[in-house]
Chains A and B, each alone.
Chain A
Amino acid sequence: MSDRRDDFLVLENVKTHFDLGRDFLTRRSKGVVKAVDGISLTIKEGETLGLVGESGCGKSTLSRTIMQLIRPTSGKIWLEGKELSAISDRDIRDVRKNFQMIFQDPYASLNPRMTVLDTLSEAIRTRHPDSKGDDLLQRVSELLRTVGLNPAQMKRYPHEFSGGQRQRVAIARALAPEPKLIIADEPVSALDVSIQSQILNLLKRLKSEMGLTMIFVSHDLSVVRYISDRIAVMYLGRITELGNAETIVDDPLHIYTKALTSAIPVPDPRAEHSRKRVILQGDQPSPIDPPSGCNFWPRSPVEHDAQMKETVPEFVEVATGHWVSNCRFCVEPTAATSG
């Protein structure tokens, strides 16, 4: 595996668990939330990886773990050959500018007491500590132009902008320290559809113009398909399927991915009425004491036996670049060959 460390971003068996502590009286453990439970991934420079899954699957925890906002419980993370997971809490501050995050809620992600100018100048100074005066102003106005805002509005406060414009400011702030990696955590799900497309277009343009590497986290597979090169599907803290965006959406192997793709409502009445859905059982189980074996068994719509609960499926490469959690109940062997 050591050669993989030369890649841009490498995750090796990353686990992020949260201990809920012990009951005050009985001293019994309240359990451990296995939010991220053994994830290995490699991301190439300039690539956009889409990370999809339902709420509670651990995708937000995984992005915050890569961001080192939460330190992993075990496993290793390398960015450009540097092991982030080994850097001390004190020193991590100095490398943070290399990876930035765009958050979901543009109403909560900007400090309401600071003008756009203040917010951006502060972020620019993490890369250029000596920038001030005209130089700083020019950098700020350039950033604003880059994200499609009018620099004349830089002295305004966040509440004076609409949701879409705020998200642009948040994107500008993430770009300010000139990062190499951007993690976008549900950047459009709080926005109206007509605004969504503006932000998606913008992210796509920035990515191609600046050669950014991006991890795009979303629950919406159609959005992810549009923007990503590869897609990783997460379920209960693990990756169930990973591959090219088109492959994952059009020819998925794992039954969960199939359920996910078939559940996306398509704005086309005839197609909607004629399509077949894979309907799952119930909801996603709690990540506290998750199901054993292939963790998908409680929701599986296909017939299975006790073996599914016992054997943890291997994560195997079934075709070039197409990886799947190879549970023999979830992945039909016929589909594997015909897909």
Chain B
Amino acid sequence: MSNISQTATLQGKPQPDPAGPAVAAMLEELEEGSSLWKDAWARLRKNKLALTSLFLFILIVLFCVVGPFLSPYDSQAQDLFVGAEGPSAAHWFGTDTLGRDLLVRVMEGGRISLLVGLVATTVSLMIGVIFGAVAGYMGGRVDAAMMRFVDLLYALPFTIFVILLMVAFGRSLWLMFVAIGCVEWLTMARIVRSGVIGLKKQEFVEAAVSLGYSHTRIILRHLIPNVLGPVIVISTLTVPAVMLLEAFLSFLGLGVQPPFASWGVLINEGQQNMEIFPWLLIFPAFFFALTLFCLNFLGDGLRDALDPKSAKD
């Protein structure tokens, strides 16, 4: 490292490199920095509740994704001779009124619920972050126009909006993803916008402007990474919110249609028969509630871990 030419001037091109290998050697000597993300992860690891939640959530995902392959039953195979039976050695979670194995149905229902949660959240994340960042960064009239559009969508009753979409494009699972995503991004956009407006006054953004960086570069490299903390927290809280919405839509008959089922559908079926066959309600509701708890605790833990105030300056 010492043989890098110390006399090389700053202006103009550095002198022909007599120390080519030295640069490579220096690269190996570089001390790895610890990014704020790494620090946040270190803090999260100390939070037992959040970590347990993360672990449980991964287990639930595995249970839903891998589970059906290991089960001897088909979720749609009816066995009307059996009918609704309580938990047994053959059917651990019992069977529903049509004699379908509840365990498999809970697992497959979970796939759909989780998929809705994740896809809709991702959709809302992409639209919300970009929309909010652009509005906040541009400011002035552009911002006002963009945010009035958001207000307009906010004012639109959600159910009517979804019914309209369903009537116009027909029912499909993907359409529901889009519909939910289209509503959830509004909150995200508002949060990102206010974050960006706060950041815009920071001197590092002024520095980026004075270095002549393009708008896209400033938004993507300097603004968005710095609002990702709250965005991640909101996302973990959006996933359960979306799953609840899906349950609500399915309850109205606008969501997942038989023979497919989501947790929302299963809970709905279960509560119709809960006095006679309580397990039909208990098992799906348990998994649904557990997932919501996990995501909420994880969101809380992430908020603590990413909170810039607790981050060491």
Q: Which residues of A contact B203 (CB under 8 A)?
A: 103-105, 108-109
Q: Which of B220-266 contact A (CB under 8 A)?
A: 221-222, 225-226
* Interface residue A275 (Cβ < 8 Å from any Cβ of B): no
Stretch at the interface among A145-153, A228-236, A252-260: A145-153
Expressed in whole angstroms, the minimum distance between the Cβ of A167 and any Cβ of chain B is 11
Scoring B residues 296 to 313 as 1 if CB is less than 8 Å from chain A, else 0, what string do you get?
000000000000000111
* Interface flag for A111 (CB, 8 Å): yes
Say whether A134 contacts B20, CB under 8 Å: yes
Complex interface: chain A residues within 8 A of B213 (CB) = 93, 122, 126
Query: Quick one: which of B24, B202, B211, B222 has the most chain A CB within 10 A?
Result: B211
Query: Which chain B positions have C-beta within 8 A of A116?
Result: 33
A34 at the A/B interface (Cβ < 8 Å)?
no
List chain A residues, Cβ under 8 A from B27: 137
SS of B interface (majority): loop
- Which residues of B sit under 8 angstroms from A95, Cβ to Cβ? 212
Residue numbers in A under 8 Å from B208 (CB-CB): 111
The closest CB in chain B to the CB of A175 belongs to: B10
Q: Is the CB of B311 within 8 A of A141?
A: no
- Is B82 part of the binding interface, using a Cβ–Cβ cutoff of 8 Å? no
Q: Mark A175-219, 1 if CB is under 8 A from B, else 0.
A: 101100000000000000000000000000000001000000000
Q: Fill in one digit per residue for A77-111: 1 if any B CB lies within 8 Å of its CB, else 0.
A: 00000000000000011111101110111011111
Known contacts A113-B226, A154-B30; is A141 also within 8 Å of B4 by CB? yes
Smallest Cβ-Cβ distance to B12: which chain A residue? A178
B221 touching A114 by the CB < 8 A rule?
yes
By a CB distance below 8 angstroms, the chain B residues around A170 are 207
Cβ-based interface call for B62 (8 A) = no
Cβ proximity bits A45-77 to B, threshold 8 Å, 1 near / 0 not: 000000000000000000010010100000000
Name the residue of chain B whose CB is nearest to the CB of A101.
B210
Asked if A160 is at the interface of the complex by the 8 Å CB criterion, the answer is yes
Q: Is the CB of A156 within 8 A of B31?
A: yes
Task: List the A side residues contacting B207 at CB < 8 Å.
Answer: 101, 103, 109, 170, 173-174
Q: Which one of A69, A107, A108, A145 has the greatest number of beta carbons of chain B within 10 Å?
A: A108
Q: When chains A and B are docked, how far (Å) is the Cα of A113 from the Cα of B221?
A: 9
Q: Is B17 an interface residue (CB 8 A)?
A: yes
A-B pair count, CB < 8 Å, reads 130
Choice from A105, A154, A210 contacting B10 with Cβ under 8 Å: A210
- Asked, given contacts A113-B35, A134-B24, whether A94 binds B212 with beta carbons under 8 Å apart, the answer is yes
By a CB distance below 8 angstroms, the chain A residues around B6 are 145
Query: With a CB–CB cut-off of 8 A, which chain B residues contact A327?
Result: none
Q: How far is the CA of A160 from the CA of B212 in the complex (A)?
A: 27
Beyond the given A122-B213, A137-B26, could you list 18 further A-B residue pairs with CB under 8 A, ordered by the A residue number?
Answer: A92-B212, A94-B212, A103-B203, A108-B204, A111-B226, A115-B33, A123-B211, A138-B14, A138-B17, A141-B23, A142-B4, A142-B8, A152-B26, A152-B29, A154-B30, A155-B33, A159-B313, A178-B10
12 residue pairs from A and B, CB less than 8 Å apart? A99-B210, A101-B207, A108-B202, A110-B204, A113-B35, A114-B221, A122-B213, A137-B26, A138-B4, A141-B23, A142-B14, A174-B207
